[in-house]
Amino acid sequence: MNSFDPDIENCIRVLQNGGIILYPTDTIWGIGCDATDAAAVERIIALKNRPENKSFVVLVATENELIKYATVPDQNVFKYLETTIKPTTVIYESAVGLAQNVIAGDGSVAIRICRDSFCKQLIKRFGKPIVSTSANIAGMQPPSAFSDIDNAIKSGVDYMVKYKQIDTTIASPSSIIRWKDGKVEVIR
């Protein structure tokens, strides 16, 4: 049993009921929900006071899960990801099977395959991809640690993961790339 198992059980219960969670990701603390549940995504948009047209990052645990939710035209993207040190989110051209309000206006979707053990276990045991958006009000600085998260965010979620709350390691957002025609375009 991992020290985070009770948190995972609580998260799964909340996610299955259309709720939103505050959780540590492989990068910064995030607000998450079932990426296939449009109503849950709307709750995150309202909590963050986020523009409706801004797309989300989706987390999956494995390459096999990724190909259920995005058309991956070039398998070399997986070889590229094996060489990255920093967590890297990839924008894929065509999203499938996700809530419409997770997908960008052009039909693309940003997906990251998690390496973090907490996130991997959560996603695998939940059995669906999870939205990951920084735990801040839109326009504000993303939190680099749990202690930096605004109380409005903390009180607006259905469950706050206890695991890593006391961790003071400074975290930063993922890199974001677009993989097109076998080439990497760095977005962030």
Span 135-146, average pLDDT: 94
Q: Would you say 31 and 157 are in contact if contact means Cβ atoms under 8 Å apart?
A: yes
Say what angle helices 117-126 and 5-16 make with each other, to 10 degrees: 40
pLDDT tier at 4 (50, 70, 90 boundaries)?
Answer: very high
Q: Would you say 92 and 111 are in contact if contact means Cβ atoms under 8 Å apart?
A: yes
pLDDT tier at 71 (50, 70, 90 boundaries)?
Answer: confident
Percentage of the chain modeled with pLDDT above 90 = 80
Q: Are strands 29-32 and 21-24 parallel, antiparallel or unpaired?
A: antiparallel
Predicted local distance difference test score (pLDDT) of residue 149: 97
Counted domains in the chain? 1
* pLDDT tens by residue, 109-134: 999 999 999 999 999 999 999 999 99
Span 145-159, average pLDDT: 97
pLDDT of 33 strictly over 80: yes
What does the DSSP 8-state code read for residue 17?
T
Q: Would the CA dihedral through 112, 64, 129, 69 be positive or negative?
A: positive
**CATH, residue 139:** 3.90.870.10
Range of the domain at 181: 5-186
Predicted local distance difference test score (pLDDT) of residue 1: 62
Predicted local distance difference test score (pLDDT) of residue 73: 67
